[in-house]
């Protein structure tokens, strides 16, 4: 990477870390700290924990498309402003209902698509994977850091302090976006941002819908866990500020488990390991539902949960990328992200509602049963090989070609070694390819130059 790309990658990764930390820091804290509000109830706690997911799910695709019209930075700055307002509303809330309003506002700052598009705009194709990898690592790092720091900050400054710091972090992101991240030429790539005319086709895709439902259940379960787990830890006479001492070793051990599973996968994503990860999560919820106040059982269950969660969270996006048709990855990932955030909302509602009507143990049992239904959904998923995506520009406008010429171009590109799929885009004159390791870029370029 050159200096400009490295600067862009680190600045955008910092924006992601600061913003996502603000969202995640609340999760291990809110269920306990919310007991001080006069209108406290398990259902309202669930809505407060998962409420941001509703607006994130609804606005993820529209704001990505909006960045094509208004520009990346204006949309990102708008999203950060809304997120900051929501954070301060939640910080000054004197009731659960007002806090939920703040959380919903936080979710309305749905800028993930615009950030990824900006990262694409400011990087060369040959270096783009590295830039996006740095941002991806930052997202995972922000979750672990937030889960550990949340209880510590809540102990010193209370829940209001956690939200206020979240708002301040969002404001600190704005100068980074404005002055540190370089400006790029918008590429408007179908492999980067959602396209409206592709939504129906990809929503109904027999393979992609299984991954969309899977990520929805995955995030439903982690939200359900964080509505219940802090209260479970209180049963062991652990104060909120000491919860980090559980999360730190648990997350560390789960990373070891993730490394073992990744090593067994050998660069692939076999269905057997997907089954194992789901069964680990189901076993964790089943153990937590047994009402046995055994410290080792609870911590072992949480390690099992995060081992399975980490593996699936790391591998599902790669599966979506491999399955999505050439030139349509942006739409596929936009739909995927919407299901992901809706899962967080669903987890809060389900957990709160079940606890309100029955008990926390039944909420854990609902999580265990959900994994059995999930196994049925994932059983129809076909194993796929990891692929690379390439966008090439035709020297002649694709719109200017008649259908016969377009068909001939597709045919000739499809026989180039390593090419798995070809999609032509007349709107931006781009040729999208899905390729494997045998791809001959020189020969593909030669084919394009003959048209």
Phi, psi for 445 (deg, rounded to 5): -65, -40
10 Å CB burial of residue 218 (0-12, 13-18, 19+) is buried
- pLDDT above 80: residue 189: no
Please, are residues 322 and 384 in contact by the beta-carbon 8 Å criterion?
yes
- pTM recorded for the entire structure: 0.92
Per-residue pLDDT of 191-216, as tens digits, reads 778 888 899 999 999 999 999 999 99
Mean pLDDT throughout 288-304?
91
Domain 1-182 matches domain 199-385 at the CATH topology level:
yes
Output the pLDDT for position 427: 61
Output the pLDDT for position 184: 76
- CB proximity list for 374: less than 8 A, separation 6 or greater: 213, 214, 217, 278
Burial 145-176 (b: 16+ CB within 10 A, else e): bbbbbbbbbbbeeebbebbbbbbebbeebbeb
Neighbours of 216 (CB within 10 A): 24
Instruction: Give the mean pLDDT of the chain.
Output: 90
Mean pLDDT throughout 283-310?
93
- pLDDT above 90: residue 407: no
Q: Which pLDDT band holds residue 267 (cuts at 50, 70, 90)?
A: confident
Output the pLDDT for position 401: 65
Instruction: Name which of 373, 253, 226 is nearest 308 in CA terms.
Output: 253
Output the pLDDT for position 409: 84
Residue bearing tokens 């992609």: 208
Taking the C-alpha atoms of residue 31 and residue 230, their distance in angstroms, rounded to an integer, is 7
Bridge-partner residues for 388, per DSSP?
Answer: 435
Taking the C-alpha atoms of residue 11 and residue 9, their distance in angstroms, rounded to an integer, is 6
CA distances from 278 to 27, 154, 287, 376, 398 (A): 22, 32, 14, 11, 45
Per-residue pLDDT of 27-61, as tens digits, reads 999 999 999 999 999 999 999 999 999 999 999 99
- pLDDT above 60: residue 188: no
Burial 359-388 (b: 16+ CB within 10 A, else e): ebbebbbbbbebbeebeebbeebeeeeebe
Domains of the chain by residue range: 1-182, 199-385, 388-449
Per-residue pLDDT of 129-164, as tens digits, reads 788 888 888 888 888 899 999 999 998 999 999 999
Please, are residues 49 and 348 in contact by the beta-carbon 8 Å criterion?
yes
Taking the C-alpha atoms of residue 164 and residue 315, their distance in angstroms, rounded to an integer, is 34
Asked: is 1-182 a CATH 2.60.40.10 domain? The reply is no
10 Å CB burial of residue 336 (0-12, 13-18, 19+) is buried
More confident residue, 436 or 352: 352
- Domain 199-385 has what CATH class? mainly alpha
Residue bearing tokens 């049992």: 365
Asked: is 388-449 a CATH 3.40.50.720 domain? The reply is no
Q: Which pLDDT band holds residue 259 (cuts at 50, 70, 90)?
A: very high
Burial 185-210 (b: 16+ CB within 10 A, else e): ebbbbbbbbbbeebeeebeebebbbb
Q: How many CA atoms lie within 13 A of 260 on its CB side?
A: 11
Mean pLDDT throughout 116-134?
84
Cα Dmax for the chain: 74
- CB proximity list for 154: less than 8 A, separation 6 or greater: 29, 33, 161, 162, 240, 241
Per-residue pLDDT of 319-375, as tens digits, reads 998 899 988 989 999 999 999 999 999 999 999 999 999 999 999 999 999 999 999
Measured in Å, how far apart are the chain's first and last C-alpha atoms? 32
Mean pLDDT throughout 395-402?
62
């Amino acid at each position: 990477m050159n200096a400009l790309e490295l600067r862009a990658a680190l600045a955008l990764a910092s924006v992601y870390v600061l913003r996502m930390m603000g969202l995640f820091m609340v999760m291990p804290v809110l269920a306990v700290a919310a007991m001080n509000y006069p209108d406290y109830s398990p259902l309202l706690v669930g809505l407060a924990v998962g409420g941001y997911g509703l607006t994130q799910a609804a606005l993820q695709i529209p704001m990505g498309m909006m960045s094509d019209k208004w520009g990346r930075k204006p949309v990102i700055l708008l999203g950060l402003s809304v997120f900051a307002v929501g954070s301060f509303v939640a910080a000054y809330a004197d009731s659960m209902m007002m806090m939920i309003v703040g959380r919903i506002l936080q979710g309305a700052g749905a800028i993930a698509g615009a950030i990824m598009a900006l990262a694409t705009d400011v990087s060369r194709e040959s270096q783009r994977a590295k830039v996006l990898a740095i941002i991806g690592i930052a997202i995972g790092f922000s979750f672990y850091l937030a889960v550990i720091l949340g209880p510590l900050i809540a102990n010193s400054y209370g829940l209001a302090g956690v939200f206020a710091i979240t708002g301040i972090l969002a404001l600190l992101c704005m100068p980074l976006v404005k002055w540190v991240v370089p400006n790029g030429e918008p590429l408007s790539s179908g492999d980067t941002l959602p396209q409206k005319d592709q939504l129906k086709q990809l929503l109904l895709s027999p393979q992609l819908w299984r991954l969309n439902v899977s990520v929805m259940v995955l995030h439903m379960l982690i939200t359900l866990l964080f509505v219940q787990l802090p209260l479970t830890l209180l049963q062991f006479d652990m104060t909120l500020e000491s919860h980090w001492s559980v999360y730190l070793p648990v997350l560390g051990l789960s990373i070891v488990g993730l490394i073992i599973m990744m090593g067994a996968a050998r660069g692939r994503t076999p269905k057997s390991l997907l089954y194992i990860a789901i069964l680990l999560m189901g076993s964790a919820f089943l153990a937590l539902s047994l009402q046995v106040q055994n410290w080792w059982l609870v911590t072992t269950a949480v390690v099992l949960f995060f081992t399975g969660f980490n593996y699936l969270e790391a591998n599902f996006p790669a599966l979506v990328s491999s399955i999505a048709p050439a030139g349509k990855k942006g739409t596929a990932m936009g739909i995927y992200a919407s299901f992901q955030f809706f899962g967080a909302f669903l987890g809060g509602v389900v957990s709160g509602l079940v606890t309100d009507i029955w008990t926390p143990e039944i909420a854990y049992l609902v999580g265990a049963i959900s994994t059995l239904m999930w196994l049925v959904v994932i059983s129809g998923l076909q194993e796929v090989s990891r692929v690379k995506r390439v966008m090439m520009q035709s020297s002649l406008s694709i719109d200017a070609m008649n259908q016969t010429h377009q068909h001939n171009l597709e045919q000739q590109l499809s026989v180039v070694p390593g090419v798995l799929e070809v999609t032509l885009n007349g709107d931006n004159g781009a040729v999208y390819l899905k390729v494997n390791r045998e791809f001959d870029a020189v020969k593909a370029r030669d084919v394009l130059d003959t048209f």
